Chains A and B, each alone.
Chain A
Amino acid sequence: MKKHSSFSHIVSFLFVGYLLFGSFNDCFAQRDTITNYYETEQIKLPKGLRAETGGMDFMPDGRLVACFHLGEVMTYNPKTKTWKKFAEGLHDPLGVVAVSNSEILVVQRPEMTRLKDTNADGVADVYETITDDFGMSGNYHEFAFGPLKDQEGNLFMALNVASNGAGIRPEIRGQYDSLSREGRMYSCVPYRGWVMKYNVKTKNLSRTPQVFGRPTAWVLTQKADCLFLTIRAIGAEPVRCITSKKENFMVTLPA
């Protein structure tokens, strides 16, 4: 009996010891942080900027170009660490694509716009409407996202739907359709809720097969034959693929 109890004591002692030793180990072991895997650098923002970022891209000369909620487009030179204004006055720009060191494309609430600096003063002087061939009901929820460029230079944009959190305006842009008004989210003017493709050759804006709620991120694959977007939609899978080459083919990936 004595032997047995001393054995169990040893085991309990060892067990407790193991527990203590194990927990000490946890205390001393380092937790992984992002800096174990990525180099991060904090960029000082210009004074007076409300940094509510809509989109970012890099220009060929290495400058970052970013657009913001209050309508500004700013460039950042990582070598000189200076910010400069490129454009202003845009309406909720939610994406930017750099075409050259003096030309960018943005999608803002009312349209897809080309901004160009044609007189080399560093500031855009041309704000050309690439396309505004879609409706706006004036509902606040109708944001517009993009653009994304495919290999042929075609441009994709996504049109957010309206929310029943608010109504529409007495004056709208586009043909009104009341079919979906009863919904929680609704699409009462063309083509709210669709991903649209702007064909640079025909200059036409058309619907892709993809209908969505609102993309939270999207990216074109390396072969540029598949446009992935993650969406925040009620009850839908979070990742979808639209191919630009096979227009009518849609693949839905599992969550």
Chain B
Amino acid sequence: MAHNLVFTKPGKRLSVVEAAIKMGDKGQAANYVPESEDVLAASKILIPNTTQTFTFTAPSTEGSYPYVCTYPGHGYVMYGALYVTTKPLPPLATDPNIPPSRQNTEIIVSSPHPFALEYPLLYRTFMPDCSPAAIAVALTSTHSYCFDAGKCYLRYAWVGGFVDNTAHWKGNGNAFAKIQGKIYFKDNVTYPLRVGKADKLPDVSFKGYTLANRLPTFNYALDGVDVKETLKSLANEEGLTRVFTFVKPTTQTLYFVTKTDDGITYKSSIGKWQNGTLTIPKGTSKVTLTMSRNKTQSPHADAHNH
């Protein structure tokens, strides 16, 4: 398979592709790059295991500038776009400048195990910014979170990938797992779920987890209150839903404490919010917390970095 990389003016991908095909026999000598004002920059044709470096100055006018392989036949499926803009990039799922087959953002990772990777995927491993008893969970190949089994609460969540345990599994285990992607939420409250008083940190005890279709539900006790927590992804990786189930209906008021500047908008199925703290009334068996990423953050930057 031989390919090239050609940058064109906006909207000119197909006409450049067709001009390259029209070059016929003469095309090969010209690396299938037609002589045209619509071509901004181009590489040569490269065969596998070869590289070429070339530089050009990107246009300064805002727009989407297609890049494409003009080897005959490839230009209809092998293309993307260079965006000159200050606005957030469109999500891959709705980006008109990429081939339809690439709008699915799922990353395929090869498995280090004697079985294929399936999602949700869970590893107990050493994670940064967490106690040593850490649990990393990938809800999908591009949306993950870290649960602290030592402290029994969600530490952070990220999009764009999962973890790479290669360094941790190598040798003695001194290295941490590497987070792949961009963290969009990080707890800075510590022990957000509290019993009896909003300012009292609970005594915690981790009890394990169960899997339903691979999705974990964590079980832990906070000041003697038996809690089950299931985390799921919101649509479009916009955040998380967390379903807290209390094995026995609560006999005390519970509080969920958040910091209002953590980039997340919280909603709850039950209880009242005040200054970022949710009051969960007595007699509660279940509360669903929704954590949506605030729009001011651009989650797309790393989604394009394959």
Contacts and interface: CB of A to CB of B under 8 A. Distances in A.
Interface of A: 45-50, 69-72, 74, 83, 85, 88-92, 108-111, 113-114, 124-129, 132, 136-138, 140-142, 165-166, 169, 171-173
Interface string B93-116: 000000000000000000111110
Interface of B: 111-115, 121-126, 129-133, 149-150, 165, 169, 172-174, 206-212
A201 B26 CA distance: 85
A111 B132 contact: no
B124 A110 contact: yes
Interface of chain A, helix or strand or loop or mixed?
Answer: loop
A91 B208 contact: no
Nearest to B175: A140
Given A70-B169, A125-B211, A140-B172, A48 B115 contact: yes
A127 B124 CA distance: 12
Given A91-B125, A138-B132, A49 B113 contact: yes
Contact of A74 (B114, B126, B169): B114
Contacts of A109: 124, 132
B132 A169 contact: yes
A97 to B, nearest CB: 17
Nearest to A90: B124
A51 to B, nearest CB: 9
Contacts of B165: 70
B174 A166 contact: yes
20 contacts: A46-B114, A48-B112, A49-B114, A83-B114, A85-B114, A89-B124, A92-B173, A110-B124, A111-B133, A111-B206, A126-B208, A127-B208, A128-B208, A129-B207, A129-B208, A137-B132, A138-B126, A138-B131, A171-B150, A173-B150
A50 B208 contact: no
Contacts of A125: 210-212
